[in-house]
Structure formats: C-alpha cells, structure tokens
C-alpha cells in the first residue's frame, strides 16, 4: 500500500467512516455468567462500491450490501473490520487522518493497555493496588493450594509461573512450606470465583475497558454513527 492510498482512504474515513469500540455481552452456558467483550471496530458505508472495496483490499474485513427500509433512500455498500485487523488499520491510517485521528489514537491506546503483560490476572491489579504486598501476611504455597481448592500443591507453583499468584520466592528453588504468597490475594481470587461462578476477568480490567468504551462514545457523539 502506498502513502497516496492511505491518505485517500483516511479522507474517506474522515468523511463517511466510523472508528469505535464495540461492547457485546453473552451468557456463558458452562458457568452461567455474563461475558462482556470489548473490541475495536471500523466501518464505512457508501452508495458506490469502489471505496469499500479498496478498504477491504487494503486492510481486510468484509463488505455487505444493505438495502434501506425507506423507499427514497439508495442501498449502501457497508465495509466493516474488527479486532486486531481494525487496530492495524488504525495504525496505518493515523498519520493521515485529520478529523478522526483522536478516535484512531484512542483505539490503539485501548488495545495496547488491555493487552499488556499480566493485565488479565488478579495478581497484576493486586500488586498495583498494594505495592508493599510483600510486607503483608504471607502464607505457604501449600496453604494457598488448599484454600484455592487445587488438587495438588504443585499447581500453586504453576499459578506463580503464569502470573495468577504473586510470590516472593524464586521458582528455581521453590519451597512449598515457605510463607511467600499474600493471603489477601488468595482470598480475593477465591471470592471472585464464587461471586461469578467462573474464573472471571479482573473487575479492574473490565472497568478500564468500560472507560475506554464510554470515551469512544463521547468522541463519536457528533460524528458518524456505526454502520449496521
């Protein structure tokens, strides 16, 4: 793709496009809880297919043909792209956007923030909230496994390795009888599992995603609405 093509498509998005964050929810059958998903979405609709088709050729996505319910309105060609492909499109379009650059920048920031290492674990948010957690009451990996209902204490080491639990120990010489895991974090994780009947996303992460969602709604209040 050339700078001329990106500049041309950025102008089209500034005029007729939509850049936003979509929120969807569905009930998970296995755990009987509500899963809320947030993802980037770009779209454009026009009465002719040339620009929607060029957007698809350049960034991917799909095109649908939407007929209007109103007799006097012409049918529209609708281009949509979501998730990671939408993020990549924002990065390419950002230098050329003149009106909706802030939407593109916010979408990129949203993606980088909510996918940063460890952000999807309770331990990440616990450490941010309690930076001196090592000075709090610590329990042994054996006791942590028992409280959390693990079938074997060896799972606690795996939980430390994958970031589910914080620990003051080095994994190379892991001692299952040494107090090294914050009890408050273990209790918090257990209460989260019970309240949502599942291993949920941390509430702090969901609140962060919701703030980005509301911010994008504000940015688009006076702009073009999502294509449907």
Using DSSP, state whether 96 is helix, strand or coil: helix
**Residue 160 CB coordination number (10 Å):** 21
Q: What is the mean pLDDT of the chain?
A: 88
Answer yes or no: is pLDDT of 54 > 60: yes
64 — phi, psi (to 5°)?
A: -120, 160
Torsion 48-52-57-62 (CA) sign? negative
Kindly report the pTM of this predicted structure.
0.80
Q: Between 101-114 and 83-93, two packed helices, what is the crossing angle to 10 degrees?
A: 130
Report d(CA 75, CA 69) in Å as an integer.
9
Decide if 192 contacts 122 (C-beta within 8 A): yes
The domain ranges of the chain are: 3-115+205-219, 122-200
Report d(CA 66, CA 194) in Å as an integer.
45
**Per-residue model confidence as pLDDT tens digits over 143-160:** 999 999 888 889 999 999
- Of the candidate CATH numbers 3.20.19.10, 3.40.640.10, 3.10.28.10, 3.40.50.2300, the domain formed by 3-115+205-219 belongs to 3.10.28.10
**Per-residue model confidence as pLDDT tens digits over 74-126:** 888 999 999 999 999 999 999 999 999 999 999 999 999 999 988 988 899 99
Residue 197's pLDDT is 47
Answer yes or no: is pLDDT of 28 > 80: no
Place of tokens 């296995």: 30
For 61, 114, 158, the CA distances from 208, given in Å and listed in that order, are 27, 8, 27
């Amino acid at each position: 793709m050339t700078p001329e093509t990106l500049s041309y498509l950025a102008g089209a998005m500034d005029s007729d496009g939509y850049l936003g964050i979509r929120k969807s929810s569905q009930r998970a059958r296995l755990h009987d809880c509500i899963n809320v998903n947030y993802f980037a979405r770009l779209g454009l609709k026009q009465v002719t297919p040339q620009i929607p088709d060029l957007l698809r050729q350049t960034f991917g996505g799909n095109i649908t043909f939407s007929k209007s319910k109103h007799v006097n309105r012409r049918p529209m060609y609708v281009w949509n792209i979501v998730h990671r492909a939408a993020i990549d499109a924002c990065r390419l379009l950002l230098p050329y956007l003149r009106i909706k650059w802030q939407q593109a920048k916010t979408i990129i920031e949203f993606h980088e923030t909510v996918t940063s290492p460890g952000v999807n674990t309770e331990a990440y948010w616990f450490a941010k909230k309690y930076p001196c957690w090592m000075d709090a009451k610590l329990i042994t990996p054996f006791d942590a496994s028992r409280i959390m209902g693990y079938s074997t204490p060896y799972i606690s080491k795996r939980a430390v390795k994958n970031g589910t639990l914080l620990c003051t120990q080095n994994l190379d010489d892991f001692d299952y009888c040494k107090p090294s895991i914050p009890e408050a974090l273990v209790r918090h994780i257990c209460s989260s599992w019970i309240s949502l009947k599942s291993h949920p996303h941390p509430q702090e992460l969901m609140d962060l995603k919701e703030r980005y969602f509301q911010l994008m709604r504000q940015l688009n209040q006076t702009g073009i609405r999502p294509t449907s």
